[in-house]
Each structure stands twice: as structure tokens, then as C-alpha cells.
Amino acid sequence: MRPDRLNPLFIEASALKGVGPNLARPLERLGLTRVKDFAYHLPDRFVQRRAVTNLDEASVGENIVVALTPIEHRASSGRGPFRVLASDAAGNVCTLAWFGRASYTARKQLPLGETRWIAGRLDQFGQMLQIVHPDHVAEEGGAALGTLCEPVYPLSEGLTQGRIAALVQQALGLMPELPEWIEPGLLGKMQWPAWREALAEAHKGEHAPARERLAYDELLANSLALMLVRNANRAKTGTPLHGDGHLRTKLNLPFALTGAQRRSIAEIEADIAQASPMLRLLQGDVGSGKTVVALEAMLVAVEAGAQAALLAPTEILARQHYDTLRRMASATGVSIALLTGRDKGRAREAILMGLLDGSIQLVVGTHAIFQDAVAYRNLALVVIDEQHRFGVGQRLMLSQKGQTAQNGRRTPHCLAMTATPIPRTLTLAQYGEMDVSRLDELPPGRQAIDTRVVAVERMDDVVGALARHLESGQQAYWVCPMVRESEVDDLAAAEARYEALRLRFGEQVVLVHGQLRPEAKDAAMERFAAGQAQILVATTVIEVGVDVPNATLMVIEQAERFGLAQLHQLRGRVGRGAEKSTCLLLRGEALSETARRRLALMRETQDGFRIAEEDLELRGGGELLGTRQSGDTPFRVATLEQIQRLLPIAHDDARLLIERAEKDGGGLTGERGEAARLLLYLFERDYGVQLLRGG
């Protein structure tokens, strides 16, 4: 149970003054649903403004506060902005511009002939001075606005800086005093403020120690939780599995295993022979051959007389795995079943029976395989594919599902597989509770994918190359970016590209994106996989696991907008067959230095682990205050740079705390222990607490 003193933090956002139904959506989009989310909604940066008496004193690009008098309203035409022409005390004229709905408010706030204080960034548009979307319009108080060091928050459509700032202040006012969970020596050495103070400071200005402390809290919570999971797992009872090899020798493998595959299989075999349940991550780049490693492991379980399950994140992948496993294991006589949410009625009943009586030895499926209605006779190994779709909490839940009365409440061994090569630091952060096997060697004979960076101006050439490619009978992917900033625009761009390609190539083009109904998505994917469609236009939904060897061309639009890891994953969709594959990275005109280096790295190497490490360097190194990475770490507060620097410290500190707890009989007790418990709840890693003996 969450300690009462944290309750104010978890109050719903709707309880804040000024949050009505209109704001709920935009706030949700930013992940702001409870009071604590607002307190942790940290500014991207701060603006410092200068008050000027007229525009002659200001320079273009400067953040200013100035008194202006509106002289004309100009309604927007089409998609253009709503404009207000206004003059300063010296008679200089300046345009104020608003796009979209904000113009309604602007019109009301700026009646003609009445002087207002305007705060914003002075720009130039042609010969005109202009301020686009002023930060503030006030009837008076120019001086007050001018001295302000003001936070600039991440926004979503329908929200303004003023609105967010006011809600953040309300939330901060509700923060309780909490006891200190950071070790006093460290706190002193780093000169970090106390928690509540740090939150307040972080919203007031560029206060590095405050930001650091908040990041450290998150890292400490994470390390603690993972270690608690690890310890609890060690104390559980699993089924020691010893296979005699009689099934594995009957496998139909058209290839010899790589050294990395053999090493990983040996590591897994040693683990599952133990009485405490395995908790192991198999990390291997796309195409490194994880499936056969999983199959070998599952066959050990079956040889030992137990059942094994393979969990895939989507139906398509489940079906694909099912086909692959049946093909490879056809001579073993092992009975394999597929179970997804689509199975209904009789067919489903039959599978459930088979799992319960043990006649099905190996099951592949989606989440459906862990529904309450599904009971196993003796499930002893669970393999989770494409791990990054599941968080630690979900992993725990899965392992608990495996404990049934039938198998004496024993916890199944768990093998998680991920195709995302992540840097070692992040592996520790994300999978710190697991042991890791790495497939750091690709099967032999893979052809390098010819990767080129092409300016988007050469679109005609690209389409020409695509046409020639199709003539040779091969297929192609065409990926459009889908980044959260503007889903609507992104989707429109993908649809426009689809239409354009359809005009040229007709029926053989299909479109897949995240907003399609699952059946429509599957249907399009299946047409492509079956070779009935030659071009698959997609947003990043194809990222995970699709395998169409005849698709040998990958075009990625606006490649600079993707993360390197993502580009690498996407590129991995081609280069799967015997034919030479090509990847064209289309880039926009103005590339930053970092963007150029990132794309160059893609051209240079296909080693996923190297790409991951260098990506971390590139992104982490130049990171400014608060520019947070896209959601590929389990953190909301800590930046990549902070993770690299502070995680090792947090990790050690967590270990000390837990060792002390073990000595004290297994609970997080004493003043610091209690505080650490609060910390786990605060960052919603309380699954760790629940595992504590007596916790």
C-alpha cells in the first residue's frame, strides 16, 4: 500500500484548479495526469527578457517586453496566421501573429487603440518586425514581465505556457516534506538540495544541482527496484530442467549455429538447470538468430517433461514464430500450438485443454497465453520476444501467471529477447534485474546493406530507382516518420506519399500505420508478405520483427528525424535474403552537425551495438538542459548525460541499502529504509517494495 503521505502527489490532475474537460486531453498527451506529474514536468529551458521602451532599443532574435498599441486586425486567409499590426511609443510598427485557435483569444486581448504589454521574441519577416505567438499579453506590468526568468515548458496543442506554469505552481504548493533517501555523505558532497526544494528550484531557473538531484532520485529508485526484483527472484522456487538432448538432435536446422548462439544456449542451459528461476536477457541484433536459441531452450524444457511458452508482442509475429518453430521442429514430434486473442470457441477450448493436460508442449502466442482462463499443466519456461514492449512490472506479472497450483506454484524460468542493441549503461538501467547473454555475431554470409544518404530534392531519382527495383521482381519498404510532435501532420505526409506512389505504381502499393484497425493492418501486411503488394508504405509500425526476404529496398524519408537505433531497426527489415539490399536515407535540406554525423555512422557500420554506443555519445554529449531523449530509456527525469554519470553511483548506493536491509531481516527499515520505500512509490517502482519480505 502506498504510504499516506504520498497521497497529495497522486491526486488526479482534474482536482487542480482550472483543469476542465477541455484540458484533459492536451495534458494527457504530455503525460500529466496526476499532481506529481506536474511537479516533475520540468522546463526545457528558461527565457530571460529585457524590457525596452521602444523597438529601436531591441535587436532581432531578442526576448523582449514592450508596450504596443494595436492599429489594425488582419483576419487570417486560408492557413495563414491572424495578424495584429501594432505600434510602439516611437511609432515603429510591428506584426503580432497567431496561428490556429489562439487567434480568438488574441483578438479579444488586443482591442484597437489600447496599449498592452507584450512579451515575446522579436523576429523579422521580410521588412517587417514581428512577434509570433507572444508569450504574454498584459494590460500593465511591463517591468515585472521583463525581470522574469521564465520557464519554457514542453507543450501540446491546446495548452499555453501560462496555463502550464500556473498548474505547475499549484502542484508544487501541494508537495509535502519528505524524509531524505539519499545517503547524507553523497548529498553533502554533491551539494544537492532536499527533495521539495529541488523541485521548486528546478522550475525557477537553471539550477543544475536541483536537476541532478531529481535525476538521481529516479535512477536510485530504478536501481533499487531492479535489485529487489533480482533478490526476490533468487529466493523463489523454479523447476530445474535437465534435457537429455533427444529432441534437439532431431532439429531441422539448415545451418550451423554461430559461436555466439552456442555460447548463449550453454548459458541458458546452465541457468535453467538451477532450482532458482532464470531471469535472463538475450540481446541480439536483428537477424542475429535469436529464434533458434529460444527454440533450443524450449526444447530442453520439453525434454525435461515440462511445457514452454513463447510470448510475442503482436499477432503477426506470433504467427510468424509459430510457422518457423513448426518448420524447424517438424521432426521432433513436439506438439506446438498457436494461441492469440482471435481464437474463439471450439478451437480455443481445444488449445486450453491441451495446455491443461500437457498434450501441448509448446505454445506460441500473444498476451492471450497468460489470460486467467489459461492454465498450464507444468509451464517451466517462458520466452518473451521483443522485450522492449514490456516493462519490469509486466515481466513480473507474467512470471507470476506461470505459477499455478498444477506446477506447485513454481516460478517459470524467464528468457527475454530484445533486438534493440542498447549500450551497456542502459542495459543496466533497463534490465538490471537480469543476467545478459549477447549475440554479438551475425550468422555468416550476410551481405552488407548498401546504405546511402540522399538529399530529398532527388526524389525523382529515388522513385526511378524504386521503379527499376520493382521490375526486377523484388519488393520495397517506404517509411515515413511518425514522431509525436505532430501526429496529424505526420500521418498526412505518410498518406500523401502513399497516394503519390499509388498514382505511379497502382494497386501494388499498400499503406500501414498505427491508426489503422488491427485487421486492416494485418491484411495489408499479409498482402505484402505474400508478394501480392510490392511496396509497403509505412510509419514505424514495421519496426518490430517483420520478415519478408524478398523486400530488398528500404527508403526512409526524413531520416534525420529518426533515432539511430530506430533507423538501424528499420534497415534490418532488408538484407534478409540472398539478394543484395539497399537502404536509402532521404534527408532534408538543413542538417545539423550531429544529424550529419549520425547519418554518416549509419552508412559506415551495421554493427548495432556500436551504433548504440555512439548514438549515446552523440546524443548524451551535446545535451543541453532538459532536452530529453525520446522514450527509449525507462526514465522521465534523468537525461542521457545524467544517466551515464550518475547511474553507477546510484547503483552502488542501492546495493548498500539493500545489503543493509538484508542484514536487518529483509525489510527496508530504519529512517533511510523507510525513506527509500517512499522513493519507490514516488517513481512507481513499488513492485520492488511488494517483493520485500514483510514489505
How far CA 445 is from CA of 442, 475, 608, in Å, comes to 9, 21, 17
DSSP 8-class letter at 139: S
Least distance in angstroms from the C-beta of 2 to ligand ADP: 39
Q: Which is nearer to ligand ADP, 295 or 509 (CB)?
A: 295
Least distance in angstroms from the C-beta of 429 to ligand ADP: 22
Least distance in angstroms from the C-beta of 512 to ligand ADP: 20
Cell representation of residue 144: 515585472
Reduced to 3 states (helix: H, G, I; strand: E, B; else coil), residue 440 is coil
Distance CA 200, CA 180 (A): 16
Instruction: List the helix and strand counts (H, then E) for the chain.
Output: 23, 23
Strands 50-51 and 45-48, bridge-based pairing: unpaired
Least distance in angstroms from the C-beta of 585 to ligand ADP: 21
How far CA 658 is from CA of 232, 643, 666, in Å, comes to 12, 21, 8
Q: Which is nearer to ligand ADP, 418 or 474 (CB)?
A: 418
Least distance in angstroms from the C-beta of 540 to ligand ADP: 17
- Which positions lie near ligand ADP, rule CB under 6 A? 255, 257-258, 261, 284, 286-292, 419, 443
DSSP labels for 462-495? HHHHHHHHHHTT-EEEEE----GGGHHHHHHHHH
Q: Which is nearer to ligand ADP, 248 or 685 (CB)?
A: 248
Q: Which is nearer to ligand ADP, 373 or 578 (CB)?
A: 578
Least distance in angstroms from the C-beta of 201 to ligand ADP: 46
Least distance in angstroms from the C-beta of 417 to ligand ADP: 7
Least distance in angstroms from the C-beta of 242 to ligand ADP: 25
Of the candidates 221, 201, 220, the one whose C-alpha atom is nearest the C-alpha of residue 210 is: 201
Q: Which is nearer to ligand ADP, 239 or 258 (CB)?
A: 258
Residues facing residue 413 across a β-bridge: 381
Whose cell is 520485500? That residue is: 692
Q: Which is nearer to ligand ADP, 412 or 575 (CB)?
A: 575
Cell representation of residue 498: 502513399
Cell representation of residue 185: 555523505
> Residue 282: what residue type?
L
Least distance in angstroms from the C-beta of 294 to ligand ADP: 8
Quickly count: other Cβ atoms within 10 Å of residue 566's Cβ.
20
Cell representation of residue 276: 532458482
Q: Which is nearer to ligand ADP, 198 or 416 (CB)?
A: 416
Q: Which is nearer to ligand ADP, 289 or 412 (CB)?
A: 289
Is 447 in contact with 241 (CB distance < 8 Å)?
no
Distance CA 380, CA 413 (A): 6
Q: Which is nearer to ligand ADP, 320 or 403 (CB)?
A: 320
Least distance in angstroms from the C-beta of 317 to ligand ADP: 10
Least distance in angstroms from the C-beta of 615 to ligand ADP: 19
Q: Which is nearer to ligand ADP, 295 or 511 (CB)?
A: 295
Least distance in angstroms from the C-beta of 251 to ligand ADP: 12
Reduced to 3 states (helix: H, G, I; strand: E, B; else coil), residue 199 is helix
Least distance in angstroms from the C-beta of 392 to ligand ADP: 22
Of the candidates 185, 189, 209, the one whose C-alpha atom is nearest the C-alpha of residue 199 is: 209
Distance CA 341, CA 312 (A): 12
Distance CA 589, CA 601 (A): 18
Is 213 in contact with 193 (CB distance < 8 Å)?
yes
How far CA 521 is from CA of 289, 455, 474, 538, 573, in Å, comes to 26, 30, 21, 10, 17
DSSP labels for 14-32? GGSTT--HHHHHHHHHTT-
Residue nearest to ligand ADP (CB): 289
Q: Which is nearer to ligand ADP, 75 or 578 (CB)?
A: 578
CA 410 from centre of chain? 32
Q: Which is nearer to ligand ADP, 440 or 632 (CB)?
A: 440
Q: Which is nearer to ligand ADP, 152 or 257 (CB)?
A: 257
Distance CA 437, CA 262 (A): 11
Is 291 in contact with 284 (CB distance < 8 Å)?
no
